[in-house]
A and B are shown apart, each in its own frame.
With several copies, the nearest count.
Chain A
Amino acid sequence: MLIFEHARHGRRAAAQAPLTEHSADALPERFRRRSATGLPEVSELQAVRHYTRLSQKNFSIDTHFYPLGSCTMKYNPRGSNAAAMLDGFLGLHPHTPDAHAQGMLGCLFELQEMLKSVTGMRGVSLTPMAGAQGEFAGVAMIRAYHDARGDSARSEILVPDAAHGTNPATATMCGYAVREIPTSDDGDVDMQALREAVGPQTAGIMLTNPSTLGVFERHIHEIAGIVHEAGGLLYYDGANLNAILGKVRPGDMGFDVIHMNLHKTFSTPHGGGGPGAGAVGVGERLLPFMPVPVVAREEGRYRLLLEADMPQSIGRLSAFMGNVGVLLRAYAYMRMLGREGMQRVAEFATLNANYLAVRLRDAGFTLAYAQRRATHEFVVTLKREAKETGVTAMDYAKRLLDYGFHAPTTYFPLLVPECLLIEPTETEAKEDLDAFVEAMAAIRRESQDEAGMVKGAPYRMPNRRFDEVRAARELDLRWQAEG
């Protein structure tokens, strides 16, 4: 039932708006609204009940193991939420003069410093509001750098074929052509192809390391040399930073610019699709180009650096300084983990992934890169299973829901047929990994005897499988009052 179906004309949550009506009669007639807004008219209890019940229809980290590859679905500490929801932070207007926002600016400055330390970069700007905006900022900085040097003929960004879709989409948004670099059989970049692709037209390369295939790019140092030598810059996509946190730093690998997904690595909530935060870090060469605002410390006081302070900046990417509430959660998380906790993230995420990979392999499943170490995630291919029983990766995914597990990422990376990308994260306990293996093994058994049943899954969710094709053809994108 939709919230609109609980509505009755004249119903109100009367405590939630001014009790007396104020006059806006002076508002000239030609500006006035004459039509209804279509908002629902419900009581406060109805709204509370409706959305409380809706929430129960979701799987989430707080209710289920959620091994969604490339998404780092680890525990979002409730303490981080409490810290960010303090009245003093929530009530602070973004145009508050710096002098009256020192507490907030102090947190943000220290967050910049901590992120510099864990990434090995020289400067950090917190303002991008999601990973994709961080990518945009990064590539825009690469472009601004070349432009500032008068090196404007560089027109191409190199992107491995295993990359997230945001990489090529971002390059396009920055006005670059995208050139795909193939991946070799062992999961690393095809070095021969890279060498052939690099040239004076190369603005830079976007790399995810560990890659989306769940392996560490072993030639990273060599790649950096090749690209740098050609005058290009290296962009680090931080999607998988969790795997190597504190173990190896993008700055030390030779990257010139990176974005971090604070909602992955630093455990701010995914929130059903955001808000994220895509802070960017830069090396020496790109320092002048960082997006504003950036927090500076001068004589013990904090100050926002704006356009006038950083004339070569690519400028602002939002009206204020990004998703501050998310940044505060990341700050709290990093303080609770501390120096020594950073490395543990990588260690236990990697331990969990390798353990789960080995257990699944031993249960008869095929690892896409069995000869490699798993990083914090790994790819299983169900090509053989699909051929033998007709039960596909999607069917496994849906059936897992019935077993009380959120599905891994399916059909990504695109290179691997019938794949599941599985990322358990460091916050899950061994027995939950074991239970996941049991469920996978059970589905395999079911597939042999009752493939049709498995292909009809899920059965225990609020809905069965949807007809998505029809949904896209016969678009129904909003509720409308009848008549």
Chain B
Amino acid sequence: MPFIPHTETDVREMLAAIGVDRTEDLFDEIPARLRAGELEGVPPALSEMETLRLMRERAAQDGALLNFIGAGAYEHHIPAAVWEIATRGEFYSAYTPYQAEASQGTLQLIYEYQSMMTGLTGMEVSNASLYDGASALAEAVLMAVRLNRRAKTRRVLVPRSLNPAWRATAHNIVHNQGIELVDLPYDAATGRVDPAVLADYEEEGAVTALVVPQPNFFGVLEEVDTLSDWAARHGVILIAAVNPLTLALLKPPGEWGETGVDIVVGDGQPLGAPLSFGGPYYGFMCARKQHVRQMPGRIVGRAIDADGKPGFVLTLQAREQHIRRSKATSNICTNQGLVVTASTIHMAILGPEGLARVASASYANTHTLIERAATFGVRPAFTGDCFHEVALRLPRRAGAVLEAMAADGILGGYDLGRISPELDDAILVCATETKTSDDLELYIESLRRALAA
């Protein structure tokens, strides 16, 4: 009986103490006609050895392609120490830190996490994490609606240069509450939002909030200062959606424009979460301090104990579902604690200089690819400055090119035709610090061959 410690003697004594003959008797309140039969969809048990062998085979089955895709999930080196410590039993198998006295490890770590995230984003407060970047954006939209009482409508401007999966997620989560996400076009030449298009939304209370991605889905840098100032001028809540790694070099949302933004969200994946086919990652959310009571999710604060000794507790719980129930700021309960644990250790180990080097190397590698591709006529689809990801325009449909590259063992990019027919000859390519100059050369040669074929 895997994971069951009971001996036959234990069972006998326990049944006797309860006063029943068989364990089965303990289920006598369940109507007999509802009782389940054999679970045919579950195979017979495997030992741990068999399970690990099976999963090793599955993990190795498809080989490992040299990856040049970003598009929302970024391959970075994670120090070996990070997950070795994060998976220590005391972090791995602890619950949400409701009993503060027995959870100071997790609580202090989250406090440190909040401090790091506010530092990185240039904001005043951070929560303890949300599920992922996409759903964090949805929560930010809901929060903006709660915050902006001046708005007459529940409309939020979302640029089409934002990751389309994030936009879809946000829509799916907020639309039942009557909130409308309004498409904002990007400039076909630059690949970023032209602030001039905002002129249509300047009427008092016309929109609740504006979402600004940085870098945007195409890797292009938005004119964040202008957009932020527009929002501030028109009483619109500004939600920044950022890749936190890039903030090592990019101006933090707290410093955008004259006033900085109201809310920052993003996906913490680039800060210590392995690609892992899409998760678990974590969403982060930072905001101005004045907005803290409208924030969803857990928040840790420093507190003083009965001996006057400092420590940490979950605070502002009155916002949450287990207290406020149907009036809570969100239904969120469990968040992404273990990934936050890893990410906090990751950020501590990398530090400001390490993070900057990773960001610079990713920037430089992607720009090297751009230069090398230009030698045979492949050029960026957009003229806007990009960071560590670029949309390349190919002389033909991208699908077949990417398949040819996969045959070389290379994931050549994300097929932008998946999001828009007019981009079906474009691929989104990312070369992080994990790529050597040999890797870049392999990429360029593979692309050249695929195009020549």
Contact = CB atoms under 8 A, between A and B. Distances in A.
Contact of B36 (A140, A166, A246): A246
Interface stretch (B200-208, B311-319, B375-383, B439-447): B311-319
A324 interface: yes
B232 interface: no
Contacts of B64: 87-88, 91
B353 A12 contact: yes
Contact of A85 (B36, B40, B83, B318): B83
Interface in A297-320: 307, 314-320
Size range of the chain B interface in the assembly: 35 or more
Interface string B265-287: 00100000011111111100000
A93 B411 contact: yes
Size range of the chain A interface in the assembly: 35 or more
Interface in A56-103: 56-64, 66, 68, 71, 73-79, 81-83, 85-97, 99-103
Nearest to A135: B331
Contacts of A328: 55
B351 A132 contact: no
B452 interface: no
A151 B34 CA distance: 30
Interface in A119-164: 120, 129-133, 135-136, 140, 143, 164
Interface in B305-343: 305-307, 309, 311, 313, 315-318, 320-328, 330-339, 341
Nearest to A218: B29
Contacts of A164: 321-322, 333
B63 interface: yes
A97 B67 CA distance: 12
B15 A351 contact: yes
Interface stretch (A225-233, A439-447, A471-479): A471-479
Contacts of B355: 17, 37, 39
Contacts of B367: 26
B252 to A, nearest CB: 6
Contacts of A133: 131, 135
A322 interface: yes
B105 to A, nearest CB: 4
B394 interface: no
A165 B165 CA distance: 29
A384 interface: no
Nearest to B387: A27
A166 B62 contact: no
B352 to A, nearest CB: 5
B453 interface: no
Interface string B180-204: 0000000000000000000000000
Contact of B73 (A88, A93, A472): A93
A226 to B, nearest CB: 16
Interface string B244-255: 000111111001
B15 A130 contact: no
Residue of A26, A60, A339, A428 with most partner-chain B CB within 10 A: A60
A24 B62 contact: no
Contact of B331 (A132, A248, A471): A132
A32 B90 contact: no
B47 A15 contact: yes
Residue of B36, B104, B125, B350 with most partner-chain A CB within 10 A: B36
Contacts of B450: none
Residue of A50, A73, A92 with most partner-chain B CB within 10 A: A92
A373 B39 contact: no
Given A31-B385, A456-B306, A307 B278 contact: no
Nearest to A97: B406
A31 B281 CA distance: 26
A192 interface: no
Given A165-B322, A319-B163, A477 B300 contact: yes
Contacts of A335: 43, 45-46, 50-51, 54
Contact of B55 (A28, A332, A352): A332
A167 B48 CA distance: 36
A217 B173 CA distance: 31
B226 to A, nearest CB: 10
Contacts of A107: 55, 58
A204 interface: no
Interface in B62-91: 62-65, 67, 69, 71-73, 75, 77, 79-81, 83-85, 87-91
Given A332-B55, A398-B101, 19 more contacts: A16-B79, A21-B360, A28-B221, A31-B224, A36-B119, A57-B105, A62-B93, A85-B83, A100-B406, A117-B40, A130-B333, A215-B29, A270-B93, A273-B95, A319-B281, A339-B44, A351-B11, A407-B99, A412-B322
A-B pairs with lowest CB-CB distance, top 7: A38-B119, A117-B41, A338-B45, A320-B278, A62-B89, A271-B338, A88-B59
13 contacts: A27-B249, A37-B352, A44-B349, A86-B55, A103-B61, A132-B333, A318-B169, A318-B279, A322-B278, A324-B276, A355-B18, A471-B304, A477-B299
